[in-house]
Amino acid sequence: MKVAQEFRAGQVLSLDGQAWVVLRAEFSKSGRNSSVVKMKLKNLITGSSQEPIFKADDKLEPILLERRDVTYSYFADPLYVFMDEEFNPVEFEKENLGDAINYIVDGMPDVCQAIFYEGKAISIELPTTIVRTVKYTEPSARGDTSGKVMKIASLESGFELQVAAFIEIGEAIEIDSRTGEFKCRAKN
């Protein structure tokens, strides 16, 4: 057991027999040296959320999740199938992929992390930086190479994001998978 004030965003705890990931934990000093922690939690199974409050020294049960390296293999409607290092298939429904769905393309080389709760794959984490090819964007304005002017580009997955104005169709770009933001033109 851990006390409430020890939990940080990204950690998972058990409440009422269900697993909840901490999205936010805010600590406030109450009165006479006691404190409270207000959390935003997301249910790992249902995706529902709640914002409970705890005394800072309330004991909560942490959940250590199993993680495994996987790579994307193929789409078998409606499941997205990844393979682990021993070529065991790991299947995800679309809603469990979260924002990662925006970057799923055939032949993607990224080594991802599949996260398991009680043997079930519940979410996937991409590497922080991923490289994807621009499928379409408007032609760039001549001479603008500063990177400060942005324009919309779409990826093979159909996902649209803002990229530097000098990026052209067919170019590979680096994207921050946590925020979905363009970082730079990919190096080679």
Nearer to another protein, 22 or 173 (CB): 22
Among 3, 5, 11, 38, contact with another protein (rule: CB under 8 A)? 38
The answer to the question of residue 34 lying near another protein (CB under 8 A) is: yes
**What does the alpha-carbon distance between residue 112 and residue 123 come to, in Å, rounded to a whole number?**
10
**What does the alpha-carbon distance between residue 75 and residue 65 come to, in Å, rounded to a whole number?**
25
CB of 31 to another protein, least distance (A): 3
Q: How many CB atoms lie within 10 A of CB 133?
A: 14
34 close to 58: Cβ distance less than 8 angstroms: no
132 close to 172: Cβ distance less than 8 angstroms: yes
The answer to the question of residue 171 lying near another protein (CB under 8 A) is: no
The answer to the question of residue 145 lying near another protein (CB under 8 A) is: no
Structure tokens at 84: 């682990």
CB of 66 to another protein, least distance (A): 25
CB of 139 to another protein, least distance (A): 48
Nearer to another protein, 59 or 178 (CB): 59
The answer to the question of residue 77 lying near another protein (CB under 8 A) is: no
Which residue, 166, 163, 159, is CA-closest to 182? 163
